[in-house]
Structure 1
Amino acid sequence: MKIVIINYGAGNIQSIMFAIERLGFKAILSNNPDEIKAADKVIFPGVGEASSAMKMLLESGLETLIPTLKQPVLGICLGMQLMCNKSEEGNTKGLGIFDVDVIKFTPKVKVPQMGWNQIYNLKSPLFNGINENEYMYLVHSFYAPSCPEAIATTNYEVEYASALQKGNFFGTQFHPEKSGDIGEQILANFFKL
């Protein structure tokens, strides 16, 4: 199986690479459109600030490629947020794969939300064998509100979509690669899709 992690300069690549290796797979890091198109599975990571990450994506020319991919694609954290219509962070236009706008938590709560929180209302093969209310690791100040494409929910000040799916596109606000055995099971499920 050919797994490609999209390399556009805004990824927390090492921990994802290690998690994939622990599952017995190898992944390559690439920004080559032909290599990405030829992959069986694509991971779209993201750490940092939305507008600068989107700028890097535009500079690499990958913003037009990603929405056309036909194989399973998993956006993680900022990667998922960039797959939405737009983000309040830096007033950033996203890829428009998920039909939801990313907004900021209010000053009533500590941001970023950092640490472990529960996921529930699980509804996708991504969560096969995963129990409701498992704890996942999150670090974020912006979120996708609950919407029809939500496949997992988390509560932090409000209920929000902690995972999204539309066709072959999946996104997790949490970091499966940093969420222990449960996170690795989610990655394993993704590789089985």
Structure 2
Amino acid sequence: MGSVYQTLFQRLQTSRTPKYVRILIIFLSILVTIHGADDVVAQVNLIQNGLFWMLLQRVWLPNVQKITGSLERKVCVVALASLLGECAELQSNADTWASCVVSCLKVLHGAVESDDMTSFTPKTQSVGDLKHYTGDSGFTNVFCPLQGAVRAPIDVCESVKQPDLYFRERIYQALQGPSGVHLKSLLQASPELLAMVQ
């Protein structure tokens, strides 16, 4: 798995695009959900010490709001909640932990942020649009996706029915841990954040 991580991070470093960043965040979220937070953090940090935390602060947290799709956003929330509740190394770094809480709350309660660049995917048309174009000008080349050809997305965190409840459970799990006293004081220092978590 280490060579896969190296290839992904080399691609991120050489030709970073908003679409690639979104796909990378979703991929890492799926890995955290399936393999566990500590395992993914350890494997990424084997490449370079502290690489996961740098990736989390510079790529994941600033761009997680740009993820579209309810299933994709759910996976991101579950992964961030798992990191918040299970990863002792993250709980020992209060600033990064608080940034994760804020980002997770933005994904849960906020709207999707727009990307820096426009998407290169073609605009989807409907059959009604096709009839409109063919009646006026003869043959046109309109992109119409086949309705039955699209595979149904797979929910990797199917056991989590309510991501906001799962997030709260993981926050309380972190508050009961060894760094809980410090994390509680951090939450109490920001009443708005505390109100959103409860």
TM-score interval (norm. to shorter): 0.3 to 0.5
When normalised by structure 2's length, the TM-score is: 0.32
Q: Which has the higher contact order (CA 8 A, sep 6+)?
A: 2
Q: Whose strand fraction is larger, Structure 1's or Structure 2's? A: 1
When normalised by structure 1's length, the TM-score is: 0.32
Q: Whose helix fraction is larger, Structure 1's or Structure 2's? A: 2
